[in-house]
Amino acid sequence: MTAWIKPGSTIGIIGGGSTARLLALAAKKMGYSVGVLDPQTNCLAKAVADWHITSDLSDKQGLIDLAMKSDLVIYASDAVNHNEIKRIRRTVPVPQGEELLSISQDRMLQKAFFDSLRLNVAPFATIVTVKDIEEAVKGIGFPCVLKANNMDERFKKHLVLHGEADFEKAIPLLKQGTCVLEAWIPSDKEVCLGLLKDVQGKVHTYPLSEMYYNEDELSQSIAPARIDKEMQAEVERIGNVVAANLDFVGMMAVEFFTTESGALYVNEIVAHPHRAYNYTFTFPGLSQHEAHIKAVTGWPIELKLNLEKSVVMRPLKRSQAEAVYAQVQVRPEWDYVFYENYGRKNTGEIGHVTIQTDDVQRTIRNVKEIFELRG
């Protein structure tokens, strides 16, 4: 894509979650109309979009309707089939393309891609049956992790196997389809590198973020990540190699495991703006959401990529609402972003809070006390 998609044009977004909502707000700020396709009638992005198509993310007719009403289409979810992206590109530009999405959706394809770039990944094996697990653990050992090969965000549950007694627990996951068995990495940190590629092919690297998960959902991110300079440089080198070898425009991310011994393992690719970087939404010159919209529509890119202070970002859950409201009244220096439909009972995520700090550990303790003990 080389032509500038000017303000006043319409951007169609596939997906209606928090990432889509923040992208829609960024697009509206820049003068674009926004349409959203999502199966949820009250999805997070609907309230800020100009129109909404209620449809499954890979529904052929729904996607054609979105394409016909848009000057450009982007995806904010992994749940759309990459072949459908290839199909609608005949009708409308989709600058992110289908290659990035296809590799992000298939663990085996992704590992083959990493291998082609000679990147370090955890030992793994393809699994179809319990017998495959029995054979694979002879080389991989215990503990190990069984994951669905399909990396659609709806199927990101995983199972840790500690011994042969856990094999039967794998049956429900295997019924979903082919899986991947990975060696357990004794990781001290899980980190994420956000990358932006503009229409000229230049890659911009965002501050490295630490990620923490609770039941497979992001519960906290910290930026910049607390790792040494040598490892940070290697992460950035790998991220640039990955981005350079994929055909896309816009934001993506690469996730890594680090170990106390200094080892670094590439974990997976995220094919759209990463939730760990939601903290950038209100940071002038740094917002991944505004940068993504500018990149895909052909604006010139100039980013402020240095943080003046460390940042702790915490997604906010509906169950924590009262604790959050109390903090709004007593901590005006904290930056709160709410997603508008926080009062609806079917909404688990109500927003996120970003805290700039000179003392990360103290801030983490405060946040943990407020939102885990009281939330």
Token look-up 């990975």 returns 182
Give me the residues paired with residue 11 across strands. Answer: 34, 72
Instruction: State the burial class of residue 1 (Cβ atoms within 10 Å of its Cβ: 0-12, 13-18, 19+).
Output: middle
- Give yes or no: residues 222 and 128 share one domain: no
Give me the residues paired with residue 187 across strands. Answer: 259
Token look-up 């707000």 returns 25
For residue 195, give the nearest of 129, 249, 263 by alpha carbon: 249
pLDDT of residue 343: 45
Say how far residue 367 (Cα) sits from the centre of its chain.
Answer: 22
Q: Does residue 112 fall inside a structural domain?
A: no
- Give yes or no: residues 206 and 178 share one domain: no
Token look-up 């910290």 returns 222
Q: Which helix (H) or strand (E) holds 88?
A: helix 82-88
Q: Does residue 113 fall inside a structural domain?
A: no
Residue type, 62: G
**Extended beta strands in 62-135, E state:** 72-75, 124-127
56, two tokens: 């499954």
Q: Does residue 100 fall inside a structural domain?
A: no
How many angstroms separate the CA atoms of 16 and 339, rounded? 12
Q: Could you tell me the CATH number of the domain that includes residue 201?
A: 3.30.470.20
- Give yes or no: residues 179 and 193 share one domain: no
Which range marks the domain in which residue 272 is found? 187-373
- Give yes or no: residues 171 and 291 share one domain: no
Residue 275's CB: how many other CB atoms inside 10 A? 22
- Give yes or no: residues 230 and 336 share one domain: yes
How many angstroms separate the CA atoms of 276 and 273, rounded? 9
Q: Could you tell me the CATH number of the domain that includes residue 143?
A: 3.30.1490.20
How many angstroms separate the CA atoms of 290 and 30, rounded? 8
User: Structural domain tally of the chain?
Assistant: 3
Q: Does residue 4 fall inside a structural domain?
A: no
Last residue of one domain, picked from the residues 160, 183, 206: 183
Q: Does residue 49 fall inside a structural domain?
A: yes
Q: Does residue 247 fall inside a structural domain?
A: yes
8 Å CB contact between 129 and 174 = yes
Q: Does residue 213 fall inside a structural domain?
A: yes
8 Å CB contact between 11 and 28 = no
Tell me: the pLDDT tens digits for 241-264?
A: 999 999 999 999 999 999 989 999
41, two tokens: 């009638």
Distinct helix (H) and strand (E) counts, the chain? 11, 17
- Give yes or no: residues 129 and 232 share one domain: no
Give residues with Cβ within 8 angstroms of 250, minimum separation 6: 74, 95, 96, 196, 197, 272, 273, 292, 295, 296
Q: Which of the residues in the chain have pLDDT under 70?
A: 1-2, 151-156, 341-347, 373-375
- Give yes or no: residues 260 and 146 share one domain: no
Q: Could you tell me the CATH number of the domain that includes residue 33?
A: 3.40.50.20
pLDDT of residue 153: 55
- Give yes or no: residues 363 and 249 share one domain: yes
Last residue of one domain, picked from the residues 183, 199, 227: 183
Give residues with Cβ within 8 angstroms of 230, minimum separation 6: none
- Give yes or no: residues 127 and 191 share one domain: no
Give residues with Cβ within 8 angstroms of 173, minimum separation 6: 146, 148, 157, 158, 159, 179
287, two tokens: 């917002």
- Give yes or no: residues 195 and 255 share one domain: yes
Q: Does residue 103 fall inside a structural domain?
A: no
- Give yes or no: residues 88 and 221 share one domain: no
Q: Is 298 helix (H, G, I), strand (E, B) or coil?
A: coil
- Give yes or no: residues 304 and 201 share one domain: yes
Residue type, 138: K
Q: Is 125 helix (H, G, I), strand (E, B) or coil?
A: strand
Q: Whole-model pTM?
A: 0.93
